[in-house]
Amino acid sequence: MHAMRRITALHAAVVWFGISAHQAAAQTLSNPDLSLVGDFRVVGRSQEAADSTGERELSFVFEELELDFNAYLNPYMRADVFIGIHGTGPDVDVEEAVMTVLRGLPAALQLSVGQYLLDFGKINTQHSHQWSWMDRPLMHRTMLGDEGLKALGARLTTLIPIGDSALGLSASAFSGSAFEAHEHAVAEGHESNEDAPAEIMGSARVSVFRQISDLWSAELGASYLGGDYDPTESLSTHIAAVDWKLRWRPDSYRAFSWVLETMRSEREVASVDSLATSIHTVDAWGAFTSAELQWTKRWSAGALFDWTQDATVADAETTAIGGFLDFWPVEETARIGLVYRHETSDRYNFDNDTVTLQFLWGMGPHKVHAF
Amino acid sequence: MKPFTAIFWLLFSLAANANAKVNVVTSTTDLASIARMIGGDNVDVTSIARGTADPHFVEVLPSYMVRVQKAKVYLKLGMDIDRWAAPIIDGSRNGKLVVVDCSQNIAPLEVPTGKIDASMGDVHPHGNPHYWLDPDNGAIIASTIADALTGVDPAHAAAYAANLASFKSQLETHKAAWQQKSEAIRGIKIVTYHNSWPYFARAFGVEVEDFVEPLPGIEPTPSHTAHVIELIKTHQIQIIGVEPYFSMRTPETIARESGAKVVQLPPSVDGAPGAQDYFSLFDVIIDRLAAAR
Ligand SMILES: [Zn+2]
């Protein structure tokens, strides 16, 4: 089912580009911007279970090859497509394929339609190669999904000036199928009806961005999402998030940033006992924070704290701490990253140490530096 | 009723304010300075990049987007140097914004021929974008800005035309003074950190022999630094010019090894004390070069 949806989405993207290529020829426009991001990793992991059996492993991981296509469609609209290819196998994933009406709408609204990284919290809107800490926060994995929350739907956003600050408002309606991965994880043997239309869920985010001085800026955001994610059982989920980012950028050599995100999830879960299916609610909290300092053009280092309660299993926690180091050998087109991560869970009975060496490169038009 | 009345008056006064002056946002301080001289009392001008900041790299912040949301005109440098302006303009959601590329009428230098790619460093496909550092290009920028302001605010067309004429005559007076002053630096050979100075060099007869960067946008390497030290010694180069947003470390190493002098050269208005507008910018650059001889 999951693979099926991915292929369909990819097919849609190809058809979309077929159309735009045709129009480009007719209007003698230039090609879309094409960028490629390669993320190759060497991962060393030592795992220790409570029964003191341990194992060590070293693996080479083709984390992702990301293909980005970006172009204006006309003076009012643009389209952005991000396709992720994981490993050398056929695991292709449309991360985003979205058309945005940039201007021309009333009340400074922008409308996006398609598949996009939901602006729920701050971190979910970023592609994973933007994170020096590399691994998706634990609370995202349990509350939003292993690959974060990609919404298939429509979004309205606006930006309102308050003095020199910016108040951002955003609202989305999207398909509850974004949560189907959980459903499988939650209820083993609970067969979902693949043909049933998924419920529509909703989300909203309010954020305030303020430039504290020429060098410092900060953003505070609050998000909510909720709705029924399972049409058959009509299971609901409600998640709220608060995010915070502080950034210092005195010159092109140095930077400091601190991100903090915390989430609270309330999810109805179906459990199957021999014959009957019962529904109960699991409450969970999660938090992630990371601070990073770049002290010269080529080096930066930071630390992370990552903790979550399981969104579908009561009284299960996972905690991780870690540190990371980034090195740009020449300029921003190539980065070598190193992350050490210590992850433990009493409930799931493990104690992991992971060291990851990452080789990240990007070709194509330079990425601009968004906050 | 009361809060609604308050909101109405707030909106009304904001709208009235917006109508009073043409709100102009520019990519850099140089464009802002020229726009202020052309717009006079009829415009309100702010620059996104600070004068001491590297105009190639500006972070895209929501506070810039809301500033552009309130603007009527956006003046960009163009020639690919301020690519960051596009996401700021898009993020502003301003459908009525007039975006003006100030490079549109200048004759570019160093336009690459043939295929360019990242192995050549951060080469600009449309030529060297530091064009505002030739005073003659300043006159062309001023005309472009005057046209743009007249387009959005035809009621003050006469004022913009008069200000443009006055800008051009002031520029001629300054140019005469600069030419006289720059006799002291005519023909001198210098090394600069980045390739920011071909337009300035052409205008004032300075010869830029090499750069601290091995390729545009690429951090200094030991082998290239050694090459620059050799070059300075053999060509008897006296000055290493450094833009305020680059590290002094490598230039100072080169200076120590070669005997040349490091001089901070502001390529933009507000990039150094005294360079408070487009005219005094050239005075500061010429004075600093002359003093270092
Ligand atoms: Zn340059």
Q: Which domains does chain A have, with CATH numbers?
A: 36-363 (2.40.160.10)
> According to the model, what pLDDT value does residue B32 have?
98
Ligand 1 center to B217 CA (angstroms): 7
Cβ atoms of B149 and B43 within 8 Å: the answer is yes
Pair type for strands B73-76 and B98-101: parallel
Nearest to B87 among A159, A252, A370 (CB): A370
Mean pLDDT computed over A128-138: 93
Ligand 1 center to B124 CA (angstroms): 7
CA distance A39 to A270: 37
CA distance A278 to A38: 45
- Whether residue A28 is predicted with pLDDT greater than 50 in this model: the reply is no
> According to the model, what pLDDT value does residue A332 have?
80
> According to the model, what pLDDT value does residue A194 have?
52
> According to the model, what pLDDT value does residue B293 have?
82
Concatenated DSSP letters of A25-89:
HHHTPPPPEEEEEEEEEEEEEEEE-TTS-EEEEEEEEEEEEEEEEEEEEETTEEEEEEEEEETTT
Q: Using a CB-CB distance cutoff of 8 angstroms, which residues of chain A are in contact with residue B57?
A: 252, 369
Per the CB < 8 Å rule, is A370 touching B70?
Answer: no
CA distance B189 to B261: 12
Containing H/E element for A177?
none
- Which of residues 38 through 97 in chain B touch A, CB cutoff 8 A? 50, 53-54, 57-63, 65-67, 69-70, 83-84, 86-87, 90-95
Closest C-alpha to B204, from B108, B287, B106 = B287
The residue count for chain B: 293
Q: Which residue of A has its CA nearest to B214?
A: A330
DSSP state of A250: S
**What amino acid is encoded at A93 in this protein?**
D
Nearest to A369 among B60, B70, B92 (CB): B60
Q: Using a CB-CB distance cutoff of 8 angstroms, which residues of chain A are in contact with residue B91?
A: 159
Ligand 1 center to A232 CA (angstroms): 59
Mean pLDDT computed over B168-190: 95
Q: Which residue of A has its CA nearest to B85?
A: A368
DSSP state of B82: T
Ligand 1 center to B111 CA (angstroms): 13
ipTM summary value: 0.84
Query: In this structure, what are the phi and psi dihedrals at residue B55, rounded to the nearest 5 degrees?
Result: -70, -10
Bridge-partner residues for A238, per DSSP? A226, A266
Q: Which residue of A has its CA nearest to B84?
A: A368
> According to the model, what pLDDT value does residue A158 have?
97
Closest C-alpha to A125, from A140, A113, A107, A103 = A140
Residue A319 Cα to chain centre, angstroms: 19
Cβ atoms of A178 and A162 within 8 Å: the answer is no
Cβ-count burial A255-283 (b if 16+ within 10 Å, e if not): bbbbbbbbbbbebbbbeeeeeeeeeeebe
Q: Using a CB-CB distance cutoff of 8 angstroms, which residues of chain B are in contact with residue A161?
A: 66-67, 69-70
CA distance A352 to A105: 51
- CA of B97, closest CA in chain A: separation in Å? 10
Query: Could you give the 3-state DSSP secondary structure of residue A91?
Result: strand
Closest C-alpha to A125, from A92, A91, A155, A164 = A155
Residue of B57, B61, B94, B218 for testing the chain A interface, max A β-carbons within 10 Å: B61
Give all domains of chain B, ordered by start, each with its CATH number: 11-175 (3.40.50.1980), 179-291 (3.40.50.1980)
Closest C-alpha to B271, from A290, A211, A251, A183 = A251
- Whether residue B12 is predicted with pLDDT greater than 90 in this model: the reply is no
Residue of A330, A332, A363 for testing the chain B interface, max B β-carbons within 10 Å: A330
A156-165, A221-230, B60-69, B117-126: lowest mean pLDDT where?
Answer: B117-126
Query: In this predicted model, which residue has the larger pLDDT, A192 or B258?
Result: B258
Contacts of A258 (CB under 8 A, 6+ apart): A244, A245, A246, A247, A289, A290, A291, A292
Report the half-sphere exposure of A311 (CA within 13 A, side-chain side): 28
- Whether residue B163 is predicted with pLDDT greater than 90 in this model: the reply is yes
Structure token digits, residue B62: 């929501």
pTM for the whole thing?
0.87
Contacts of A106 (CB under 8 A, 6+ apart): none
Closest C-alpha to A161, from B113, B18, B185 = B18
Residue A34 Cα to chain centre, angstroms: 21
Bridge-partner residues for A175, per DSSP? A200
Around Cβ B119, how many Cβ atoms within 10 Å?
7
DSSP state of A370: B
Cβ atoms of B226 and B208 within 8 Å: the answer is no
CA distance B173 to B169: 6
Query: pLDDT (tens digit, 9 = 90+) per residue, B196-231?
Result: 999 999 999 999 999 999 998 888 999 999 999 999
Contacts of A4 (CB under 8 A, 6+ apart): none
Residue of B7, B23, B59, B80 for testing the chain A interface, max A β-carbons within 10 Å: B59
Query: pLDDT (tens digit, 9 = 90+) per residue, A251-267?
Result: 889 999 999 999 999 99
Structure token digits, residue A64: 């992702």
Contacts of A328 (CB under 8 A, 6+ apart): A297, A298, A299, A334, A335, A336
Asked if A26 reaches chain B (Cβ–Cβ under 8 Å), the answer is no
**What amino acid is encoded at B200 in this protein?**
F
